[in-house]
Amino acid sequence: MVQETTLGLAARRKRLLGYKEFLMVLPFLVLVFLFSYYPLYGWIYSFFDYRPPRPFRWSDFVGLQWFRSMVDTPVKRQIIGQVLINTLVMSGITLTTNWLPMLFAVFINEIKQVRYRKLVQTISTIPNFISWVLVYSIAFNIFSATGMVNQLLLDLKIIDTPIAFLQDSGPIVWWEQWLWLTWKNLGWAAIMYMAAIAGIDEQMYEAAKIDGATRMQQIMHITLPSLMPTYFVLTMIAIGNFLNNGMEQYFVFANSFNRENIQVLDLYVYTLAMGSGSYSVSVAISMLKSVVSVILIIVANTVSKAIRGEGVM
């Protein structure tokens, strides 16, 4: 009888603790609903002939007309094809190099002087808080025709005419944008790995030192394996966001010379909505992009479960 009473009290305490934990998470669930799920109501615009600023109730239902209009002419198919190539290539470069923040975090952790380690971490994190407009301003002052680099090369008689670094087109513009993105986000992305490194049991390092392991061997056999779960989770999130390049970076760096190779899907949607007034078409493209992103993260999660035995869902 006493044992049953004790088990009942333990079960009630467990339920009460579960309720408390749920109430702690509830405000964040509300925020996710308001900012992530409620806006999905806007998908309805893709099925109507909506012309801002007139009220939505005046719009006619057109079904899948806007979805078909994306590829109903050779010119549109060529444009959307180039946009998809730009998006896939830039996202592919970012995805295949997403190990750089992990490596950078390991290097920062190897700096033994706490003052210098904090200095490096601070300097590398600050660019994340700089807007892309300011980043372009920095790029313009350094790499424009009248910028610092061209002036230096002209003064040294290395070149006769300025080099148009910011007007490059073709594949080179993809790598240029990746370099700017890496410079801006590397330090910030490394924070997750720094937190994971801080959670590694120090006794593992002590045991490795006793066994005669060098610092590089400790990194290869303790640090990197301990960071793999964090790496795989962030990789799956990156796969889910494969079509989401963002718009701000490419908007400020785009010009008449490189627009064909720099226009990604997000910038194309913005151009359709704000430039040509094709609001419903832009919503239709965004809707398809969201559906594809969900499919990608489900596939990535399935592959992770098959390979590693665990996923994020």
pLDDT of residue 303: 79
Regarding whether 136 and 37 lie in a shared domain, the answer is: no
pLDDT of residue 9: 62
Regarding whether 211 and 85 lie in a shared domain, the answer is: yes
Q: Is residue 49 part of a domain?
A: no
pTM beyond 0.75: the answer is yes
b/e sequence 8-35, b meaning 16+ C-beta within 10 Å: eeeeeeeeeeeeeeeeeeeeeeeeeeee
Burial class of residue 224 (count of CB atoms within 10 Å of its CB; 0-12, 13-18, 19+) = middle
Record the tokens describing residue 188, joined without a space. Answer: 């910030």
Q: Calculate Rg over the CA atoms of the chain.
A: 26
For 277, the domain range is 74-308
**Contact partners, residue 106, CB within 8 Å, separation at least 6:** 193, 197, 219, 223, 224, 227
Regarding whether 192 and 251 lie in a shared domain, the answer is: yes
pLDDT of residue 218: 92
Regarding whether 38 and 126 lie in a shared domain, the answer is: no
Regarding whether 283 and 143 lie in a shared domain, the answer is: yes
For helices 74-96 and 171-198, angle between their N-to-C axes, nearest 10 degrees: 40
Regarding whether 294 and 217 lie in a shared domain, the answer is: yes
Render each residue's pLDDT in the chain as its tens digit; 313 residues.
544 566 566 667 777 777 888 888 889 999 989 988 888 888 888 888 887 777 878 888 888 888 888 888 888 888 888 988 999 999 999 999 999 999 999 999 988 888 999 999 999 999 999 999 999 999 999 998 888 999 999 888 888 888 888 888 888 899 999 999 999 999 999 999 999 998 898 899 999 988 888 889 999 999 999 999 899 888 888 888 888 888 889 999 998 888 888 988 888 888 877 766 677 788 888 888 888 888 888 888 787 777 777 666 6
Q: How many CB atoms lie within 10 A of CB 199?
A: 8
Q: Transcribe 199-211 into DSSP letters.
A: TS-HHHHHHHHHT
pLDDT of residue 51: 78
* Strands in 77-181 per DSSP E: none
Tell me the CA distances in angstroms from 146 to 163, 201, 249, 254, 269, one per residue in order.
Answer: 10, 53, 22, 18, 33
Backbone angles phi, psi at 269, to 5 degrees: -65, -45
Regarding whether 277 and 185 lie in a shared domain, the answer is: yes
Q: What CATH code is carried by the domain that includes residue 234? A: 1.10.3720.10
CA distance 170 to 23: 52
Of 80, 168, 184, which Cα lies nearest the Cα of 132?
184
CA distance 262 to 170: 9
Record the tokens describing residue 214, joined without a space. Answer: 């060098």
pLDDT of residue 2: 47
Regarding whether 103 and 3 lie in a shared domain, the answer is: no
Of 285, 187, 198, 273, which Cα lies nearest the Cα of 243?
285
3-state DSSP call for residue 230?
A: helix
